[in-house]
Structure 1
Amino acid sequence: MSAIPEAAAREAQAVAADVTRADARVIGDDAEAIEVARDLASAFAKEAAVRDRERRLPYDEADAFSQSGLWAITVPKAYGGAGVSFVTLTRVIEIVAAADPSIGQLPQNHLGLVDVIALTGTDAQKRFFFGEVLKGRRFGNGFSEKGTKNVLDLRTRVVRDGGDYVIDGTKFYSTGALFADYVPILGLDDARRAWLAYVPKGTAGLDVVDDWSGFGQRTTASGTVIASGVRVPAANVLPAYEVSERPTLNGPVSQIIQAAIDAGIARAALDDTLAFVRERTRPWVDSGVERAADDPLVLREVGRLHIQLHAADALLERAARTLDEIAAQPAPLTEDDVARASVAVAEAKVLTTEIALLAGEKLFELAGTQATLAEHNLDRHWRNARTHTLHDPVRWKYHLVGNYYLNGVKPARHAWN
């Protein structure tokens, strides 16, 4: 068996997912993407608390989301997509995540996988997979594993066998896999290089298990993916190792999407805080005011929360503009370009992480004891923030930023930077 295929071998016909949904809307530009996101968010927000409480998986909502065309907005214009800016992409994700962060998280890995295709795919692979994405097909993920030394320590194997690849391994934290048309699985070849096998749903040997029991992001179905002798043609396999071996924006892109989700969680928590304090909360007995909304100490904290959210949003937009500026350069990306992008995104991610957690906690302090009642399910904001921000530790973002500015050390290139 050969570990690494020739490029020509990957030009063979890819295996497509068997999908019965109608083709999706194709979004044309940035303004349309924002408009569609706002319309969807309004619908998704209506039963977000109920879905969380009952752990009702959002099958219909996932269909509406991908059928809207928003899962395809990063497909390059040369292949029929809108090729929206990173500023627009982060805004779209934040808008949807504020309505329901579990739904907002579903395309997180999908969008990163679209980027992998753009960076490493042959023209034939781009035409095929971008065509699928424009039709509304969804990528899940089979990346992380439990019980290994660290997130980059993989046991899953993706090994060449004639004209095919054979995949064996078990994955966890597989957000979106249950709703996916393709489950891209990350594994190592005989040379310990990482490959991504885009496995169509229903492929023999592929099993997606709904065993996610996290107390937050409850309806992302981020459970187990098992590949037992899964076989796909070489056309369905891409050299994932290339996105880290050479300078690319894949890591910063992955990270800025996560930061946008956290900003959405923060905004939702703060909006619910304001509504509860205005409508339900009693003023403290020593405040001397008739309404909790006039309590000077409450006003002080609400002001502080808004300032911190606005600061997080400003750094998020600054990071997105940095990515747009670097991506627009005619020259190939350099290590310095990628380092600058990673640091800008890390700075934003520090603030979006901290405001998401703070807003979820402060909600109860400001809204009062009644806000803890199960009927309101307001604890979902903190649970969602605490769960999603554990993707990578914010303490290492501080380290990354400080080491860059003080010592000129460039961040390591991987999906968490």
Structure 2
Amino acid sequence: MGSLNETRIDYSVHPRVNSTDPVPPRPRPSVPAHVISSDQEAIEVAEGLAARFREGAALRDREGLLPIAELDAYSQSGLWSINVPKAYGGPEVSYATLARVIAIIAAADPAIAQITQNHLAIVATVDLDGTEEQKRLFFGQALAGLRYGNAFSELKSKTVAAFETKVHFDGDEAVVNGEKFYTTGALLSHIVPIVGVDEAGQGWLVFADRDQPGLTVTNNWSSFGQRTTASGSVRIENVRVPKVRALKVTSFDHPTVGGPVSQIIQSAIDAGIARGAIDDTIAFVSTLSRPWIDSGKDKAGEDLFTIAAIGDLKIRLHAAEALLDIAGRAIDAARADSTLEKVSNATVRTAESKVLTTEIAILATNKLFELAGTRSTLAEHGLDRHWRNARVHTLHDPVRWKFFHVGNWYLNGTHPPRHAWN
């Protein structure tokens, strides 16, 4: 369980969520990031980082401390470039491995795992839509250890896919104007990719430096969960970048793995939240909970109903993790051969995993308190963060629509829609 024992905090080193003080752009790494050599190394590195991130997770949540040192270590570890293709010097691990890496990090601190999500999805978008010049540029930045944030969603638009941010071209430059919210990763990034549309409605991804004139990132994320993702707002006022840094997005106009890649990372985060909550439930019941008076047992962990409930949670978790692995391998297959059938299969498999990871995340974070008892709700333990994180993150894309698209595929052979939320 995360420790809340640290009492002295230097807030100049650890900025807080919703602080009125501006958070300056992060300096670019002085040395290139490590490059992962294999799927196995990616998992081992993730496990090592997770052990470190777990220690301060409860404290960061309680105090609203942004994970600056943790992110620096994370992006320098090489895990932020694991889906860069081998042809451009990257590891190109399986998407099943990528999902497992995210789940490992999320079990320790899901806010840190979520900050990675948009970066990895952007790397995948570059792979799908970038020109050769753009691939060399953006993959090279990712391999060097630069972090991509995001300025995608908008707070006031009619739907998540309706963009009011505008892009126009002035000579050799792209010029962007608009306002974004839910900008996870932007605050602590080196580069902020901005989604906008031109006069014809064509979508563009414009890569602006975090300290670009006209780009203002505000640390105003006020949600009760995923508190330290800094998913606040970005204002874009006549931001200009060279044309090469404006990527034309066409990957949803034809069958690609763009949607499933984005979704499997979300699913992996929920799987990690569930695993972290179950681990903390077991630890608490084993060390701090009292047996119920009617059980006749000396220890809470000997209670028959508690034992059965833990068994149920573990079975459901393992089923969700198995579907996550199946989804990752379906994405690998569709990426290698992007037929409509294989892309739809990857989309459906990923949707299935999202249903189960959502359900186990909500169930596990509820059961934690039921099984561990009233004392587990005390502020000193910080265990409420599990439920708050699960409740907020699983809202990202509603699973009620996953049921529909999955059923429509199996019953009617209807291909699921293609967008970043499916």
Please say whether Structure 1 and Structure 2 have the same fold, judged by a TM-score greater than 0.5. Answer: yes
Aligned to 1:260: 268
User: 1:99-138 counterparts in 2 under 5 A?
Assistant: 99-138=108-147
- The alignment status of 1:317 with 2:322, answered yes or no, reads no
Cα distance between partner residues in 2 of 1:383 and 1:46: 19
**Alpha-carbon offset, residue 169 of structure 1:** 0.4
User: 1:2-21 counterparts in 2 under 5 A?
Assistant: 19-21=28-30
Aligned to 1:7: none
**Equivalent position amino acid for 1:351 in 2:** L
Aligned to 1:8: none
**Equivalent position amino acid for 1:76 in 2:** P
**Alpha-carbon offset, residue 22 of structure 1:** 2.1
Aligned to 1:398: 403
**Alpha-carbon offset, residue 128 of structure 1:** 1.1
User: 1:2-401 counterparts in 2 under 5 A?
Assistant: 19-240=28-249, 242-329=250-337, 333-401=338-406
C-alpha distance after superposition, 1:328-377 (max 9, x if no partner): 33xxx122221111000000000000100110000000000000000001
**Compared CA separation, residues 142 and 131, structure 1 to 2 (3 A):** same
Q: How many residues align?
A: 397
Does structure 2 conserve the Cα–Cα contact (< 8 Å) formed by 1:305 and 1:355? yes
Does structure 1 conserve the Cα–Cα contact (< 8 Å) formed by 2:29 and 2:145? no
**Alpha-carbon offset, residue 325 of structure 1:** 2.1
Does structure 2 conserve the Cα–Cα contact (< 8 Å) formed by 1:216 and 1:386? yes
Look up the SS of the partner of 1:75 in the other structure: coil
Cα distance between partner residues in 1 of 2:386 and 2:27: 36
Give the share of equivalent positions with the same residue, in percent.
Answer: 57
**Compared CA separation, residues 18 and 167, structure 1 to 2 (3 A):** farther
Cα distance between partner residues in 1 of 2:154 and 2:29: 31
Does structure 2 conserve the Cα–Cα contact (< 8 Å) formed by 1:353 and 1:389? yes
Moved more, 153-162 or 205-214: 153-162
Shift >3 Å, 4+ stretches: none
Cα distance between partner residues in 2 of 1:128 and 1:166: 20
Look up the SS of the partner of 2:240 in the other structure: strand
Alignment gaps of 5+ in structure 1: 1-16
**Equivalent position amino acid for 2:193 in 1:** P
**Equivalent position amino acid for 1:399 in 2:** F
Cα distance between partner residues in 2 of 1:163 and 1:275: 59
Cα distance between partner residues in 2 of 1:69 and 1:386: 30
Cα distance between partner residues in 2 of 1:20 and 1:75: 19
Does structure 2 conserve the Cα–Cα contact (< 8 Å) formed by 1:281 and 1:368? yes
Does structure 1 conserve the Cα–Cα contact (< 8 Å) formed by 2:181 and 2:231? yes
- The alignment status of 1:416 with 2:421, answered yes or no, reads yes
How high is the TM-score relative to the length of structure 2?
Answer: 0.93
Moved more, 97-106 or 17-26: 17-26
**Equivalent position amino acid for 1:151 in 2:** V
How high is the TM-score relative to the length of structure 1?
Answer: 0.94
**Equivalent position amino acid for 1:209 in 2:** T
Does structure 2 conserve the Cα–Cα contact (< 8 Å) formed by 1:140 and 1:177? yes
How large is the RMSD of aligned CA atoms in angstroms?
A: 1.0
**Alpha-carbon offset, residue 18 of structure 1:** 7.1
Alignment gaps of 5+ in structure 2: 1-25
Does structure 2 conserve the Cα–Cα contact (< 8 Å) formed by 1:18 and 1:201? no
**Equivalent position amino acid for 1:322 in 2:** A
**Equivalent position amino acid for 1:181 in 2:** H
Cα distance between partner residues in 2 of 1:322 and 1:69: 24
Does structure 1 conserve the Cα–Cα contact (< 8 Å) formed by 2:330 and 2:342? no
**Alpha-carbon offset, residue 279 of structure 1:** 0.4
Cα distance between partner residues in 2 of 1:76 and 1:119: 11
Cα distance between partner residues in 2 of 1:198 and 1:404: 36
